[in-house]
Amino acid sequence: MQEKGIKKSWLDRLSPFQMIALFYLLAVTISCILLGMPIAHKEGVELSFIELLFTSVSAVSVTGLTVITVADTFNTLGIFLLAFVLQFGGIGIMTLGTFIWIIIGKKIGLRERRLIMTDQNQTTFQGMVRLMMEILKIILFIELIGFIILGIYFLRYFPTWQDALLQGFFASISATTNAGFDITGNSLIPFKDDYFVQFIQIIQIVLGAIGFPVLVEAKQFLLTPSRERKSIRFSLYTKVTSLTYFLLVLLGFLLLITFEWNHYFANKKWHEIIFYSLFQSVTTRNAGLSTMDVSLLTEQSQLLMAALMFIGASPSSVGGGIRTTTFALMIIFLLTFARGRRNIHIFRREVHEEDLFKAVTVTIMALFICFVATIVLSVTESFPLMHIIFEVASAFGTTGLSMGITADLTVVGKLILILLMFIGRIGILTFLFSFNTDKKKGEYHYPKERIIIG
């Protein structure tokens, strides 16, 4: 009885941030066990520990960087197990956890709601369980529709209906969760001239990365009778993240056309240029799928894509990076400060100082982490600096795009990317606060003194 009490007391001392980090570590462990089973591999395939760990972290963080070829490594069972890992990695540990708790009849108390709130970057307990169930239903619906459309359409590409359905099943999950994994062996390059496949994948990528609360609010708006829609007010989060997301997609699209007009796009037709640029801009939001070899692009385009991957997707989505709202707040803060104003206003709402502090902290810490990772990799690896920057941004942003150097990294290099992928998935704030063991807040203030800046 005493040991049980000690164990409970130890768990109770963990903060929600520490619990979330622990849950994702547990998820990586389970993923290693599932993907490491010999019955999940093709005959004669053996994975080293570092290959298994790298693949598991990449799957749980829905990154897509790989040191193996999925199609050559896993059999059908292994592909289904990988899809399962991508599912709970993309939707989130607490979303699926909530579903399981409801099925087994477990009461979801205050502690569980705090964990859900932390995992989904929410700021209130209200409606957490209902939100998780809405998220799960919407994502599964998107994946199901994508699976049906792609599974049937792929009958023209693959010899048997079993192969077509398997390809459609995995492609739908990989795109919706922005995982970046593929079982074609060559990402979406086999479909570089098939705009229908690209269009379906773009829609799934956007719906997965734009933010779960956005999908919930959009569903509510669409299901509301037209005469009553005027009374619906979208949240500030939905407005900011949606506007920022699509502006970044548009910016990437236009700049890629500009940078590659006389290079990669020199001999391409107008519709090829549009779809190449659009897909690459969308996929840098977090998907990692590609219709081209990005190593053939100019350094300007590669640096642009690295920046877009660093920003990443929206908060409370399948993606990583510093997130779109963080980027938006930083830009608006700089513009506001340059005009000599103190308060930040967006869509006739004033932003909380705490949210601004979080945005600044996340941006500075992310830049520092990626800078240190780039320096270390430039010492341990023998690849060009642009390749390393691109790989670091892809890992931190949990995107999965690569110039083909991932499998050739040293063990140290792979471990650096593993850490970046894990931090990118749980988020900078969760990573930082998981080290905080002091729950007591100071009730006093020291005298203030000014510091010369600039």
Measure Cα distances from 150 to 143, 161, 281, 340, 364 in Å: 10, 12, 22, 53, 41
Q: How do the pLDDT tens digits run along the chain, 454 residues long?
A: 444 444 455 556 666 777 778 888 888 999 999 999 999 999 989 999 999 999 999 999 999 999 999 999 999 999 999 999 998 888 876 565 555 555 555 565 555 565 555 555 555 555 666 777 788 888 999 999 999 999 999 999 999 999 999 999 999 999 999 998 999 988 999 999 999 999 999 999 999 999 888 898 888 888 888 777 777 788 888 899 999 999 999 999 999 999 999 999 999 999 999 999 999 999 998 888 999 999 999 999 999 999 999 999 988 888 889 999 999 999 988 888 888 777 788 888 888 888 888 889 999 999 999 999 999 999 999 999 999 999 999 999 999 999 999 999 999 999 999 999 999 988 888 788 777 665 555 566 788 776 777 6
Rounded CA separation 48/52 (Å): 6
Tokens of 52: 């298994």
* Contact (Cβ atoms closer than 8 angstroms) between residue 19 and residue 115: yes
pTM of model > 0.85:
yes
d(C-alpha 397, C-alpha 306), whole Å: 9
From 328, 301, 131, 323, select the one nearest 217 (Cα to Cα).
Answer: 131
User: 357-399, pLDDT tens digit by residue?
Assistant: 888 999 999 999 999 999 999 999 999 999 999 999 999 999 9
Helix/strand/coil for 41: strand
Query: 315 burial class (0-12, 13-18, 19+ CB within 10 angstroms)?
Result: buried
Torsion sign across C-alpha atoms 376, 422, 142, 155? positive
